[in-house]
Amino acid sequence: MRKRKFGLVLSSVLAAGAILGACGAKDEEPEKEKDDVSKGDTPTEEAFSIAMVTDVGGIDDKSFNQSAWEGVQAYGKEHNLTEGDGGFAYLQSKDHSDYDPNLNALLRRDFNLVFGVGFMMADAIEAIALDNPEAKFALIDAEAKADNVVSVLFKEQEGAFLAGVAAAKMSQSGKIGFVGGVDIPVINRFHAGFVEGAKAVNPDIEIQVKYTGAFDKADLGKITANSMYSSGVDVIFHAAGGTGNGVFSEAKERKKKDPNANVWVIGVDADQYEEGKIDDTTNITLTSMLKGVNAAVVDISNKAKNGEFPGGTTITYGLAEDGVKLADSRGAIPEDVQAVIDEYKTKIVSGEIVVPEKVEK
């Protein structure tokens, strides 16, 4: 069934009606009218409003949905917008079936630019964009074939490579793990980079890999982490959204039971240092592989506001563009290991090392 077509109507703020020089001003005083205008009576610039639809991980997933929302809020603050219609907003998807109605709802509310967050939203964005050619969309983590959609990708494999170097260098058991969410290209890039980085510094490292099939199931993350840690894995990198919260829960429980346990988690997308905090002196977050979703949201929004909307193109952010990187480890990673990480970062940025997007069989 063809989706109902909703046109994006841009609201117009007209300042006519406020006739300067009223209240008895004389015709021969045009200069005074100009002075009044310069003192703040100029019409207010039309607001450029933005909104986003989350993936199923939710707005508080401590990961890429939350990072995108932080970008939306930052743009709103930069342009003195308020949350709500005419400013900035979000709608949360609890299930894949929510994508279409949420995107259409934001179109009906006349937002100038609508973000869809996550690979799973690609089909919905593309279909609705084609039905609404005057609307503007941005798709995070996937590509859509429509002239009114800008696709935003990241070289997750480059940041994950550095996470793999850190994991392999910090492991005492020679066993590390990767917990992925859904088996899709974006998560495959995390997986591939992590494996490449770890093997670059330790070809004999054992890497356990498990895809949970979900981004919003913390219980699955906890069960998977329990299995890995029980088998001797001491560092786990997760790329699983809200499911990864369970990895942190399992690691913290183990560290509480045995303060001497070498148990670490590498977070994803946002700095997940707080997720690993046990007390003021103990934290199981080794580092986090940051993905600049928030910065990309602000960048794309400002381009669109300034009449430079890059519709029909794909913009990719990697290490060279500061689109991916490792978070400050707060001393968890010693200086000699950090030096190795920095060395590999330089090689990737220069092109000496090209990190694959898929695990080589």
**pTM assigned to the model:** 0.82
pLDDT of residue 361: 65
Q: 168 is written with which tokens?
A: 């392999």
Residues 292-320 have a mean pLDDT of 97
The domain covering 156-290+331-350 belongs, at the CATH homologous superfamily level, to Response regulator (3.40.50.2300)
- Each domain of the chain, given as residue ranges in start order, spans 50-154+294-317, 156-290+331-350
pLDDT of residue 109: 98
Lowest mean pLDDT among 61-65, 145-149, 172-176, 284-288: 61-65
Q: 4 is written with which tokens?
A: 């109902």
Please determine whether the domains at 50-154+294-317 and 156-290+331-350 fall in the same fold group of CATH.
Answer: yes
pLDDT of residue 160: 98
Model confidence at 45, pLDDT cuts 50, 70, 90, reads low
| Residue 144: pLDDT over 50 | yes
- Residue-wise DSSP of 169-198: HH-SSSEEEEEESS-SHHHHHHHHHHHHHH
pLDDT above 70: percentage of residues in the chain = 87
Query: Taking a C-beta distance cutoff of 8 angstroms, is the pair 49, 75 a contact?
Result: no
User: What CATH number was assigned to the domain covering residues 50-154+294-317?
Assistant: 3.40.50.2300
Q: H/E element holding 291?
A: strand 285-291
